[in-house]
Amino acid sequence: MRILAASDIHGAVAMLKYVLRREHADILVLAGDLSNNSLHEARNVLRVAKNYDLNVVFVPGNMDPPALLDMESFEGAINLHGKVKNILGLSFGGLGGGGISPFNTPIEFDENTFWQKLSSLNDIDVLVSHAPPYKTRLDIVRPGMHVGSKSLLKFLEERQPILCICGHIHEAYGTDFIRRTALVNPGPLMWGRYAVIEIHDRSVRLTLKNLNS
């Protein structure tokens, strides 16, 4: 299976079109912040994928409109927030939104709510989360300061899916591991960053890419 992973699109439809022309994939995973609190922008982003023969899944990010949270699907893309879906033989679960912040963004949850949502997921192969797990390479906003989710860290340590795709912290793009779980923050697509993930016999290969290099 080949997964094209992107996050933090923030309405950058042209970037997504370019990536989809450049890469082939079985599944497109969008890990939140499709828009800047605009249902119209989110619709335009998801409509792009209709012209390509691939499955599309997403979770809303902290900057997406709250109306997205309750949608089972939107423009043909499956919303994974709080749900588990089987796609091409792998089970995908999702967690949308960001943690509580001083910025009062549109979709924020406290750790108890994060844990409730995560606990409702059955055993999964792939977790798609907008927020990154706590104290990893993917949640650092400045040297030594981690702002990820402790509930997400606990979930990954206990359940150990093979892969977690996240976003949210633009500058913390990269890869990491929690026990056997491979982690990737592809970086913001609005900066031209994304990732290609290949899964074969439950072995995960992560490749970070940049349209601007």
| Averaged pLDDT, 100-112 | 96
pLDDT at res. 143: 81
Share of the chain above pLDDT 70, in %: 100
Tell me: the pLDDT tens digits for 195-210?
A: 999 999 999 999 999 9
Tell me: the pLDDT tens digits for 73-85?
A: 999 999 999 999 9
pLDDT at res. 130: 98
Query: Which 3-state string (H, E, C) describes 117-179?
Result: HHHCCCCCCEEEECCCECCCCCCEEECCEECCEHHHHHHHHHHCCCEEECCCCHHHCEEEEEC
Give the C-alpha separation, 204 to 37, whole Å.
33
pLDDT at res. 144: 81
Give the C-alpha separation, 114 to 109, whole Å.
6
| Averaged pLDDT, 96-114 | 97
Whether 213 has a pLDDT exceeding 80, the answer reads: no
Whether 158 has a pLDDT exceeding 80, the answer reads: yes
pLDDT at res. 53: 87
- Whole domain around residue 17: which residue ranges? 2-210
What is the residue-averaged pLDDT of the chain?
Answer: 96
Q: What is the CATH number of the domain that holds 153?
A: 3.60.21.10
pLDDT at res. 42: 98
Number of domains in the chain: 1
Confidence of residue 50 (pLDDT cuts 50, 70, 90): confident
